[in-house]
Amino acid sequence: MNQAMINSAVTLGQLQHKMDTTGHNLANMNTSGYKRRDVSFSDLLFQQVNNQTSQQYETGRQTPAGIRTGTGGAVAQTAVRFEQGSISQTGRDLDVAITEPGYYFELVPGENGERRFTRDGAFYLSPNPNNQAENFLVDRSGEYIQSQDGQPITIPGSFRDLRVSESGEIQVTLNDGENTEVTAGQLQLVSITKPQLLESHGGNYYGLPDLDELNLGIDDVLTETAGTQVFQQGALEMSNVDMAKEMNDMLQTQRGYQFNTRAISITDEMMGLVNNIR
Window 109-138: residues binding another protein (CB under 8 A): none
Instruction: Figure out which of the listed residues 3, 180, 223, 229 binds another protein, where binding follows CB under 8 A.
Output: 3
By CB under 8 A, residue 86 contacts another protein:
no
Q: Which of 141/258 has CB closer to another protein? A: 258
By CB under 8 A, residue 38 contacts another protein:
yes
Reduced 3-state DSSP string for 188-253: CEEEECCHHHCEEEECCEEECCCCCCCCCCHHHHEEECCCCCCEEECEEECCCCCHHHHHHHHHHH
Long-range contacts (CB closer than 8 Å, 24 or more residues apart) made by 166-170: 166/229, 166/230, 166/231, 166/232, 167/227, 167/228, 167/229, 167/231, 168/96, 168/226, 168/227, 168/228, 168/230, 168/231, 170/137
Instruction: Figure out which of the listed residues 16, 40, 131, 179 binds another protein, where binding follows CB under 8 A.
Output: 40
Binding mask 216-235 toward another protein (x if CB under 8 A, else -) reads x-------------------
By CB neighbour count within 10 A (0-12 exposed, 13-18 middle, 19+ buried), where does 35 fall? Answer: buried
Q: Which of 54/130 has CB closer to another protein? A: 54
Cα–Cα dist 39/19, whole Å:
9
Phi-psi region of 172 (alpha: psi -120 to 50; beta: other; left: phi over 0): beta
By CB under 8 A, residue 43 contacts another protein:
yes
Q: Which of 119/137 has CB closer to another protein? A: 119
- Using the contact rule CB under 8 A, the part of the chain among 24-32, 106-114, 173-181, 267-275 near another protein is 267-275
Instruction: Figure out which of the listed residues 62, 112, 130, 132 binds another protein, where binding follows CB under 8 A.
Output: 62
In this structure, what are the phi and psi dihedrals at residue 196, rounded to the nearest 5 degrees? -70, -10
Q: Which of 177/277 has CB closer to another protein? A: 277
Distance, CA of 192 to chain centre: 14
Contact predicate 155/135, CB 8 Å:
yes
User: How many residues of this chain bind another protein (CB under 8 A)?
Assistant: 65
Instruction: Figure out which of the listed residues 55, 112, 177, 277 binds another protein, where binding follows CB under 8 A.
Output: 277
Q: Which of 131/248 has CB closer to another protein? A: 248
Instruction: Figure out which of the listed residues 33, 121, 168, 195 binds another protein, where binding follows CB under 8 A.
Output: 195
Applying CB under 8 A, the residues found at the interface with another protein are 2-5, 7-8, 10-11, 15, 18, 38, 40-46, 51-52, 57-58, 60-64, 67-73, 76-77, 79, 81, 83, 193-197, 209, 214-216, 252-253, 255-256, 259-260, 262-263, 266-267, 269-270, 273-274, 276-278
